[in-house]
Amino acid sequence: MNSQNHQNELQCGQFEAMLADALDGTLTAAGRQAFDAHAQSCSVCAPMLAEAHQGLRWLKTLEELEPPKNLVHNILAATSMAEVRSPAETAARARNTGVRHLLAGLLHSRFAASFSMAFFSLTLTLTVAGVRISDLANAVTHPGSLRKAIVLQYTQVESSMVKYYENMRLVYEVESRVKALRKATAQPEEKERDKSKDKNNPNDTSGNPQRHDDYSLEQGESILAWSIVTPEGAKP
């Protein structure tokens, strides 16, 4: 009779509160009886019990896993390093970690390829321009000498350019002189050759063809005259 009353008193909220203990098997006998009675009579709580029970069964299928064999070793290695490290070193490590995180993004394969290409191009350009990395390093470490180094470099490049230009001018001058000398020596020979030809055949003018500059002019004028004289209506 007492248990009958207990069954009647059990509400859904109480049933839910007892659910975990019921599945653990830790309910009292009276509590268990009331719990079972409610589960049989309540259409909401019965599926709840079934699902919770099923969920528990699924969870119990999960076996304990064996940790990796090197785990203990790694932990001990990591903690022994932590032991040796002083607070200052720990702070420095934290800073390094931040820098490493930043670099990790920059050292992505795409960026790394771009950086290497840019570096290669820069190195090549500097090498061609005659700039040495050691000079740049000195300039960076001593900012005052940076301007001096740039002026020196500019002067060197300018002087080499001027030298090159002067050399080219000399070459062209020599070349033109040589040509003029050749021409000067060749002209008297040609004149003598022409004179000897004229003496042999005075009527032969094939070697000295007559130019007919006026012919083309006359023809042009006649065409112009024709177009002026001919009226518009006379055209076919």
Per CB under 8 A, residues contacting other proteins are 16-17, 19-21, 23, 48, 51-68, 71-72, 74-76, 78-80, 82-83
Would you say how long the chain is, in residues?
A: 236
d(CA 153, CA 126): 12
User: What's the closest the beta carbon of residue 85 comes to other proteins, in angstroms?
Assistant: 10
Least Å distance, CB 57 to other proteins, is 8
Report in angstroms how near the CB of residue 112 gets to other proteins at its nearest: 23
34 or 49: whose CB is closer to other proteins? 49
Of residues 79 and 205, the one with the C-beta less far from other proteins: 79
Nearer to other proteins, 62 or 129 (CB): 62
List of residues 6+ apart from 160 with CB closer than 8 A = none
The whole-angstrom separation of Cα 179 and Cα 72 is 92
Min separation Cβ 71 and other proteins, Å? 6
130: region left, alpha or beta (phi > 0 left; psi from -120 to 50 alpha): left
Which residue number, 51 or 158, has a Cβ lying nearer to other proteins? 51
**Which residues are CB-neighbours of 115 under 8 A, at least 6 positions away?**
106
